[in-house]
Structure 1
Amino acid sequence: MLGKLAILLATLLVTLQLTAAFNLVVPAQERRCFFEDLEKEDNIHVSFQVGEGGHLDIDFWVSDPNGIFVEDVKKSASASFLHVAKMNGKYEYCFSNVFSTITEKSVGFNFQAVRNSAWQNDEIYPLLCIPCLSHPADPLEKEIRELAAGIEEIRNEQEYTLARERTHRNTAESTNSRVVWWSLFQTGILFLICVFQITYLKRFFEVKRVV
């Protein structure tokens, strides 16, 4: 039982170390790119949510070492991608705000890389010192990997949901602020109209004396 717990703990720690959450600001007419060295059969998972700026949209793409787009979306508020590397090399993923002339965009995104070589080369197993892990085809290993993948998927969904909640909250607060200021503006206009009407009517009913 302790051995299983140790395997699960180490697996989750290794998986979580390969996951990162970021927030960045992409100025108008610019883009922000990141690079990741991957080996064939490595998995990368990227999800993002535009939190602030303009119509809450941005361009996003992932390109392989040959510069060919493997994922590409235009003016999207949010998206999630899972890609399996087809070759070794440096992969690039970018957030582009080139189409915007004035407004900068605030983007929150999660990046996860699952190294296939770490499992195949038993890089995790020596840390555990458990003989039963010497067989890559062990059903226990398979179950643990599936459990770790499921936990990471849940974690990514939670972060995605939090990002969407933050976006909707900012939109609601912005709308509320606009309603308040518009109401104050209307109240001011109404007050000025009332003052004008009272002044005008007062002058209209004044009796002019002829000297």
Structure 2
Amino acid sequence: MAGLLLLLLGACLLLPGTGAISFYLPADSKKCLKEEIHKDVLVTGDYEVAELPGSITHLKVTDSAGHILFSKEEAKKGRFAFTTDDYEVYEVCFENVMSPDAVRAPDQLIILNVKHGVEAKNYEDLAKAEKLKPLEVELRRLEDLSDSLVKDFTYMKKREEEMRDTNESTSLRVLYFSMFSMFCLVALATWQVVYLRRFFKAKKLIE
């Protein structure tokens, strides 16, 4: 048990820390951030948009199929959360729209912090709701982390099997195509020999 805890703690230390990212969005422009996320994963995001006169920023979160998971007109500061339905690419888009009569403003500062999986869970609220001790909360977090790692390894194994099957299928098709090409070449060469022999015989060039 102690060895398992040390292993999980080491995995926690190896995970990259998540921090907010910031960028500048020019007037009348749009910028999207994409990320691949597994199925049944909780995703949360905190955003803050600097206020500029005559500038309005819209926020939209969608999946690869175009389904809107979160939308906010005139986004300023807030949070969004959703649970993924399938493994695919999700994107968070900010669009800066200037009023027609507004003077062109400088680029707008946007701060975004997206978390998913174990990082997105609020263990403080969980501890209060279930009256857990600090050690129990840490064990719960490690348990969720281990489940996440197992799911990641399972998905990687599945992808490896799919790629192996694809490679084997491709190799088999290449082999069949090569054999068919060789058969066509041999058949064509045989037909040419037979045709030329008949032609030369007809011209009495050979007996």
TM-score, with length taken from structure 1: 0.48
Larger RCO of the pair (alpha carbons < 8 Å, separation 6+): 1
TM-score, with length taken from structure 2: 0.49
- The higher radius of gyration belongs to 2
